[in-house]
Amino acid sequence: MMRLVWLLLCLWLAIVPARAKEAPIDPTQSYAVIEIRKLESPMVKGANMPGSVTLTRYDRAKGDIRPAIGADVIRIVVEKKPLAKTKEGRLYLVRLVPDDWVVEGSNGTAFSLGSMMFSVAPGEVVDLGVFTPSVDWLEGEGPKGIGSAILGAALFGSMRPKDERPVRIDWHARTSADMPLPNSLAGTTVVPARFDPHHKFGNHLGGLVNRFGGRASRPQGKDGGGN
């Protein structure tokens, strides 16, 4: 009987999001809610790691990241201190300066070839929805099984794939099947972010580059080819 109770408790803990203590928000400030799902490791099939997203202030007139002036915060890496966690991902509430923002990158990849821009007004709380990062493999590629990864590490000294691939993002608006909004936003008006796609900028993160939605999201030209 006790074993059954223990199993039911473990199942309940796996399903119900684990929540951190939530501080009340400042109604004079602007915020964004974002759920980030886990990223499957490019090195070992079935091994997951926390996903991360970099949000950066954007100068739409210049078509590039807004330069830092003094102590201005221009870039926020969303990866620490989640409000809630499940087996699939984490929920964050981040304070943003009212401005235009762009999703600059995820897990080491810069989306400088084309990404999503959104705006935040003073005192506004926007819901960025659910972000699922994944490796943008070429057709026929994928992470290695654990046996192949261990063999590769023994022979070549590393589990890393020979040709590293960039990360892409699959996005959808929050639904009842996703993690609920945090309790700290109870009674607060939360508006869905209005995304504007295909904004380009310099690779200020270094490393690999891609589009927000990967190669499959390339805009189609008049001849049907990607730009």
Q: Is residue 224 part of a domain?
A: no
Q: Is residue 133 part of a domain?
A: yes
- pLDDT confidence band for 17 (50 / 70 / 90): low
Q: Is residue 3 part of a domain?
A: no
- pLDDT confidence band for 19 (50 / 70 / 90): low
Q: Is residue 20 part of a domain?
A: no
At 125-170, the pLDDT tens digits run 999 999 999 999 988 776 655 545 444 555 455 555 567 899 999 9
- pLDDT confidence band for 33 (50 / 70 / 90): very high
Q: What count of other Cβ atoms lies within 10 Å of the Cβ of residue 105?
A: 31
| CA distances for 92 relative to 35, 69, 72, 81, 220, angstroms | 6, 26, 21, 7, 34
| CA separation for the pair 171, 175 (Å, rounded) | 12
At 162-210, the pLDDT tens digits run 678 999 999 999 999 999 999 989 999 999 999 999 999 999 999 999 9
Q: For residue 70, what are the domain limits?
A: 26-217
Q: What is the three-class DSSP state of 101?
A: strand
Question: Is the Cβ–Cβ distance between 58 and 201 less than 8 Å?
Answer: yes
Q: Is residue 139 part of a domain?
A: yes
At 74-121, the pLDDT tens digits run 999 999 999 999 999 999 999 999 999 999 999 999 999 999 999 999
Q: Is residue 223 part of a domain?
A: no
Q: What is the pLDDT of residue 78?
A: 96
| CA separation for the pair 57, 125 (Å, rounded) | 16
Q: Tell whether the torsion through CA atoms of 116, 30, 98 and 201 is positive or negative.
A: negative
Number of domains in the chain: 1
Amino acid at 81: K
